[in-house]
Structure 1
Amino acid sequence: MRILLDESLPRKLTFELRGHEVQTVQGRGWAGLKNGVLLREASQEFQVLLTGDRNLEVQQNLAILPIAVIVIVAVNNRIETLRPLIPDVLKALETIRPGQLVRIGA
């Protein structure tokens, strides 16, 4: 699956998502884009946006976009904190559909 890792999450997370094609917002030159613009750009090339932005769901109408969103909810965004949530992320990737939002974590 083609996954875009949002700038709210550490880049090291890309190594935890083996078996998927993962790129970062920073690597694409999209750092600092507003969420709506980012989602429109990402939906052109990616199937899933992986983010730590808990407000994305209220700020954007995800149902009309051809991209799915996984929000990781954790006490902080350090790789050590996020690593235990990766199995749940990988499981969600098996069934997630465009326009769907899945929350992983607390």
Structure 2
Amino acid sequence: MKLLLDENLPKRLKQDFPGHEVFTVRDKGWNGVKNGELLKLMVADEFQALLTFDKNLQHQQNFKKYTLTVFVLNAPINTYAVLTNLSGKVRQKLSQDSLPIGPIITSLA
């Protein structure tokens, strides 16, 4: 599966998803691209999911226009030491036969 890590996530998080094609926004040269345009670029480049720390994204976009899953990582801070604890939950969702379109809030609790 092709995954994109938003620019608000540590790039080290890429290593938590072996067996997947994982890119960062920086890898793709998409730094500073607004969310709506980023989602369009992702669809055009055949990404299946975005991982982000942006809790507002789910309220700002109409996900009926996109065929993407967005994992909103919900934690007190966006450091690798904290966010790696959410990776197992994301991997579990990624292993399912099909992903829901739109946001999935992934929390520590």
TM-score by length of 2: 0.91
Identity of aligned residues (%): 40
Consecutive aligned runs of 4 or more in structure 1 exceeding 2 Å deviation: 94-100
In structure 2, runs of 5+ residues without a counterpart are none
Amino acid at match of 1:89: V
What's the CA shift for 1:63?
Answer: 2.1
Aligned with 2:91: secondary structure?
A: helix
Equivalent pair of 1:67/1:99 in contact (CA under 8 Å): yes
1:76 aligns with 2:77: yes
Aligned with 1:49: secondary structure?
A: strand
In structure 1, runs of 5+ residues without a counterpart are none
1-structure distance, mates of 2:64, 2:54: 17
2-structure distance, mates of 1:62, 1:99: 7
Which range moves more in the overlay, 96-105 or 26-35? 96-105
Q: Which residue of 2 aligns with 1:47?
A: 48
How many pairs align? 106
TM-score by length of 1: 0.93
